[in-house]
Amino acid sequence: MKKATAYARVSTTEQSKTSIDGQLDTIRNFAKFNDIKIIEEFWDKESGGKMSRPNFDIMIENAFAGKYDLILVEKIDRFAREDIEATLLIKQLEDAGIFVMSVLEPADVTTPSGRFQRWIMLGFGKLEREIIADRTKRRMRDTAKRGYWMGGIPPYGYKTVEVKDNEGRIRKKLEIIEEEAKVIRKIFELHADGKGLSAIAEFLNNNNISTRKGKPWAKTTIYDLLKNKKYIGIYEYGKGTKRNHHSKNSKPLIIENVIPPIIDKELWEKSKKQFRTPVRISMIRNYLLRGKIFCAECGAPLVGNGGKKTMYVCSNWKSRKGDHYVGISKNKIEKHVFLYLKHLLIDNRPNFKQIANTFNYLYKTKKQSKNRKIEYIKNTLEEKYEQRKNIINAIKKGVMIETLTQEAKQIEREIKELNLQLEKLMQNVYFEITEEELEHRWNNLTEMILSDDEDTLKELYDLLIEKIEVASDGYIKIIDKDIL
């Protein structure tokens, strides 16, 4: 039998229309008919602000503590006054295995707050991780601005030395290794004089000048070195990644005069002029919806089809596995999807303050529940430790050795399980989210839709669109993702 709590609410302005007793009676009848056991009942008379419901707060905390399987309300607006608030709370409760059920409404209690706002709300887990990552990146960027080395192997010509920052913490900065710096200057001078990468590598190897690892120089190593702006005192933080420093970031943090330069800018510019950028003419078309667009008739992917008019066509038809033709102009469908997302992003701006307030209320409740559980487990552990101590003392005295030994093993198992529960709880970190952080995430998406860069648009489509179906009559169905 499912365990449930019943919740009723009225405001001071509507008590004549809806009574607490009436709501609870409706809920009780529903529970009785559906074999649901109500173990607690809560109600509030609300006259103040949105979050001034003391009994509601207790109920939510008990729910996260695992006391109920269901929260029963007469209508979903009794649970929460705002669509956004209701959707957020319901989603978080469902993630914890507690379901909110409206006894007078259909089973789907998802409120009509708009698909795009739902993306934000239901995708909070991902949003939460991204915000934590953003905060970490901001702290690291602030540290990089001060010229501190942010980790990794220093480039050839430099070593790290420890220094103290203004707060007394140990940091690292780059310092020139003069013997290696002489090699760096020679490499740039040779390149500025017109020597190619292979010729420079050959010169170094013939003169028994090895890399830091004692290996011969390769032209790829020379190329990377000649492109490294640290040698003119410029620190580009966030340009690449730890796994791939060649990856490109369009907005790295550029900090000048925080690294001691090995060469001057005049020599850098002379070397730079020796690089020739080849002109490449690419006939490869970028199909932005590849992997997202499907045939509504057979379910096969639509694939690119070149020619005078570029199209997306059914892959089964193209490979002659089907006798139906489904195709659509590349320009037409990509423009349609672009305008669809642009409308959602530009015209459906949510109330960031309301969302932030609801999240923070929810996580405050979760944190309180977590702290209560931790306190309970710690108290229980103290009792178990004391029991173990007493048993050990009894065993030493030879009292009922076999029985006490079994009891001691059981207590050890319980202690181990309690410690595992405590460790798991301690890993759950709750933090507050700000209105500004939510708006920042939203603005990033709007910047992406306004971008002229095709790779950026493809990234946005992958982020927001689950799939697109095209029918033989030209009908287009866009299925959004539930999370951002």
Residue 465 CA: distances (Å) to CA of 104, 163, 192, 337, 344: 33, 49, 50, 9, 12
Same domain assignment for residues 340 and 462: yes
Each residue's pLDDT tens digit, 232-257: 998 887 665 444 444 444 456 688 88
pLDDT at residue 213, rounded to an integer: 87
Q: In angstroms, rounded to a whole number, what is the distance separating the alpha carbons of residues 256 and 261? A: 10
Q: How many domains does the chain fold into?
A: 3
User: pTM here?
Assistant: 0.43
- Asked if residue 326 is part of any domain, the answer here is yes
Comparison of pLDDT for 12 and 4, the residue scoring more: 4
Question: Which residue from 283, 279, 285, 280 is spatially nearest to 303, judged by alpha carbons?
Answer: 285
State whether residue 216 is helix, strand or coil.
Answer: coil
Q: Taking residues 387-402, what's their average pLDDT?
A: 77
Task: Cite the DSSP H helix spans in 39-107.
Answer: 54-64, 76-79, 83-95
Q: Taking residues 393-409, what's their average pLDDT?
A: 75
pLDDT at residue 231, rounded to an integer: 94
Same domain assignment for residues 351 and 469: yes
Comparison of pLDDT for 426 and 37, the residue scoring more: 37
- Asked if residue 151 is part of any domain, the answer here is no
Each residue's pLDDT tens digit, 172-205: 889 999 999 999 999 999 999 999 999 999 999 9
Range of the domain at 357: 290-484
Lowest mean pLDDT among 36-45, 203-212, 330-339, 349-358: 349-358
- Asked if residue 298 is part of any domain, the answer here is yes
Same domain assignment for residues 211 and 88: no
Q: Taking residues 69-74, what's their average pLDDT?
A: 87
Q: Taking residues 97-126, what's their average pLDDT?
A: 51
Same domain assignment for residues 200 and 301: no
pLDDT band at 456 (very low <50, low <70, confident <90, very high): confident
Lowest mean pLDDT among 331-335, 360-364, 377-381: 360-364
In the numeric block, the tokens 């010729």 are attached to 199
Question: Which residue from 153, 134, 154 is spatially nearest to 142, judged by alpha carbons?
Answer: 134
**Domain of 39: which CATH number?**
3.40.50.1390
**Domain of 261: which CATH number?**
3.90.1750.20
Each residue's pLDDT tens digit, 258-286: 889 999 999 999 999 888 654 443 445 68
**Long-range own/partner contacts, residues 214-217 (CB < 8 A, 24 or more apart):** none
Each residue's pLDDT tens digit, 5-61: 999 988 655 544 447 887 888 888 878 877 789 999 999 886 544 446 789 889 998
Same domain assignment for residues 255 and 295: no
- Asked if residue 141 is part of any domain, the answer here is no
Same domain assignment for residues 68 and 215: no
Token pair recorded at residue 419: 């410690």
Q: Taking residues 224-230, what's their average pLDDT?
A: 91
Give the residues across from 293 on adjacent strands: 468
Same domain assignment for residues 339 and 231: no
Boundary of a domain, candidates 113, 148, 183: 113
Comparison of pLDDT for 47 and 303, the residue scoring more: 303
Same domain assignment for residues 108 and 177: no
Same domain assignment for residues 295 and 268: no
Boundary of a domain, candidates 113, 146, 172: 113
Same domain assignment for residues 468 and 365: yes
pLDDT at residue 276, rounded to an integer: 65
